[in-house]
A and B are shown apart, each in its own frame.
Chain A
Amino acid sequence: MTLKDTKPGDVVIVLKILGQRHDEIKRRIMDVGILPGTRMEVIKVAPLGDPIQVSLLEFDLIIRRSEAEKIVVEYEKS
Chain B
Amino acid sequence: MINNKNNKYKNLRVSLVGNPNTGKTTLFNRLTGNAQYVGNWPGVTVEKKEGYVKNTNFPVKITDLPGVYSLSPFSPEEIITRNFILENNTDLIINIIDATNLERNLYLTTQILELGKPVIIALNMCDRLQRKGKIIDFCTLENLLGTLVVPISAAKNIGIEELTNKITSLEYNYNKNFKIFKYNQDIESKILKIKKILHSLNSNFYNNRFILVKVLESDALIISSLNLKLDTIKKIDEIRGLQNEIKYEENIAAERYKKSSEICKKSISDINKIKKIKISRKIDKVITGKFAAIPIFLIIMLFIFYVSFGPIGTFCQSFAREIISKGIEYPLSILLNQLKINNIFSSFIFAIVAGMGEVLSFLPQILILFGMLALLEDSGYMARAAFIMDKLMRKIGLSGKAFVPLLMGFGCSVPAILSTRILNNEKEKKLTIFLIPFMSCGAKIPVYLVFLNAFFPEKKAIMMFLIYLTGILFAILMSFIFRQIVKPKESPMIMELPDYKIPSLHNLYLHLWDQSKDFLEHVGAIILGSSVVIWFLQSFDQSLRFVEDNSQSLLAKLGGFIAPIFTFSGFANWKSAVALITGLLSKEAIISTMSIVYGAEESNLNEAILQNFTKSSALAMLVFILLYPPCISALAVFKKESDTFSACLSLVVNTLIALIASILVFNIVKF
Contacts and interface: CB of A to CB of B under 8 A. Distances in A.
B245 A21 contact: yes
A61 B20 CA distance: 12
A60 B250 contact: no
Interface string B274-301: 0000001100100011110110000000
A54 to B, nearest CB: 9
Contacts of A25: 492, 494
Contacts of A20: 246
B254 A36 contact: yes
B103 A64 contact: no
Nearest to A60: B497
Contacts of A43: 281
Interface string A5-45: 00000000000010111101101111111011000000110
B103 A57 contact: yes
Contacts of A30: 249-250, 253-254
Nearest to B219: A22
Nearest to A31: B70
B628 to A, nearest CB: 34
A74 interface: no
Interface string B74-109: 100000000000000000000000001111100100
B494 A32 contact: yes
A51 B72 CA distance: 24
Contacts of A31: 69-70, 72, 107, 253
Interface in B211-265: 218, 220, 245-246, 249-250, 253-254, 257
Interface in B132-175: none
Contacts, number: 124
B254 A61 contact: no
B496 interface: yes
B533 interface: no
A58 B100 contact: yes
Interface string B490-502: 1111111110000
Interface stretch (B54-62, B382-390, B595-603, B606-614): B382-390
A35 B650 CA distance: 43
Nearest to B497: A60
Nearest to A30: B253
Contacts of B74: 24, 27-28
B391 interface: yes
A35 B288 contact: no
A46 B489 CA distance: 24
Contact of B390 (A24, A36, A44, A50): A50
A64 B492 contact: yes
B245 A62 contact: no
A51 B104 contact: no
Nearest to A66: B490
Contacts of A48: 294, 388-392
B387 A59 contact: no
Nearest to B254: A35
B496 A59 contact: yes
B390 A61 contact: no
Given A27-B249, A36-B254, A46 B494 contact: no
B225 to A, nearest CB: 16
Given A17-B250, A44-B288, A64-B390, A27 B72 contact: yes
Contacts of B493: 51, 62-64, 67
A35 B294 CA distance: 33
Contact of A47 (B249, B254, B388): B388
Given A47-B290, A62-B495, A57 B253 contact: no
Given A30-B250, A53-B497, A21 B218 contact: yes
Give the 10 A-B residue pairs with the shortest CB-CB distance, closest first.
A31-B70, A48-B391, A60-B497, A21-B245, A47-B293, A30-B253, A25-B492, A24-B74, A50-B391, A31-B69
13 contacts: A21-B246, A22-B249, A25-B494, A30-B253, A32-B69, A33-B104, A47-B388, A51-B391, A53-B387, A58-B102, A58-B104, A62-B493, A67-B493
Interface of B: 69-70, 72, 74, 100-104, 107, 218, 220, 245-246, 249-250, 253-254, 257, 280-281, 284, 288-291, 293-294, 383, 386-392, 489-498
